């Protein structure tokens, strides 16, 4: 055979072997799955600890009617340049506490002309809290201003009312702590 013909044939043969090897099915291996022992992320949620010196020695008064499951909020002393509010949010429609709900202090934005207004709530900047299982809430570091208390849900924003059914309007002053007691919202709204 001619030397000129041998080289192309050898190259063609080598290419065929490589192609056959690449296309031959290989035994698949399953990827390694992490077990609980080697997970790299935390399993439990982080625990938020309050600074001891920021908390006062007094909390809500404990009465015989309170169950041991009720959370007792420790109310810190307010700073001279901010205020604190706290209370318990209850449902007017269900006659029970409103648990794990967002409570905001909204500012009034007046519409020209007249006394009509809309509520302004900024998700990350407005003073806010989430109620406990028992409906208790505590909002700290509130800048002095005039506010309306509101319950914000994915469906709507509801004014929070006092025991007379009136919107709760607050004027916060630095160094002030306000106990609102029981407050109410028309939540859930069945209309």
CATH of 82-185, one of 2.60.40.10, 3.30.360.10, 1.50.10.20, 3.30.70.100: 2.60.40.10
Walk along the chain (191 residues) and give the pLDDT tens digit of each residue: 555 556 556 555 555 545 444 455 555 443 343 444 443 323 233 333 333 333 333 333 334 444 435 556 789 999 999 999 999 999 998 989 999 999 999 998 889 888 898 889 998 999 999 999 999 999 999 999 999 999 999 989 999 999 999 999 999 999 999 999 999 999 887 66
What is the maximum alpha-carbon separation in the chain?
110
Quote the strand ranges of 22-144, DSSP E. 55-59, 74-76, 83-91, 102-110, 117-120, 128-130, 136-142
């Amino acid at each position: 055979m001619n030397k000129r013909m041998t080289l192309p044939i050898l190259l063609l043969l080598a290419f065929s072997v490589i192609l056959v090897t690449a296309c031959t099915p290989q035994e698949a291996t399953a990827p390694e799955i992490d077990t609980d022992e080697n997970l790299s992320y935390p399993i439990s949620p982080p625990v938020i600890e309050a600074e001891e010196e920021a908390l006062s020695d007094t909390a809500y008064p404990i009465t015989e009617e309170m169950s041991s499951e009720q959370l007792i909020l420790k109310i810190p002393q307010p700073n001279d340049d901010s205020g604190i509010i706290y209370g318990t949010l209850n449902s007017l429609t269900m006659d029970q506490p409103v648990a794990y709900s967002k409570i905001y202090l909204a500012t009034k934005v007046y519409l020209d002309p007249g006394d009509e207004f809309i509520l302004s709530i900024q998700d990350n900047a407005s003073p806010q809290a989430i109620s406990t299982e028992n409906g208790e809430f505590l909002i700290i570091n509130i800048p002095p201003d005039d506010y309306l208390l509101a319950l914000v849900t994915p469906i709507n924003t509801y004014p929070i009312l006092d025991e007379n059914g009136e919107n709760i309007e607050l004027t916060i002053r630095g160094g002030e702590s306000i106990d609102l007691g029981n407050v109410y919202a028309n939540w859930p709204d069945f209309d």
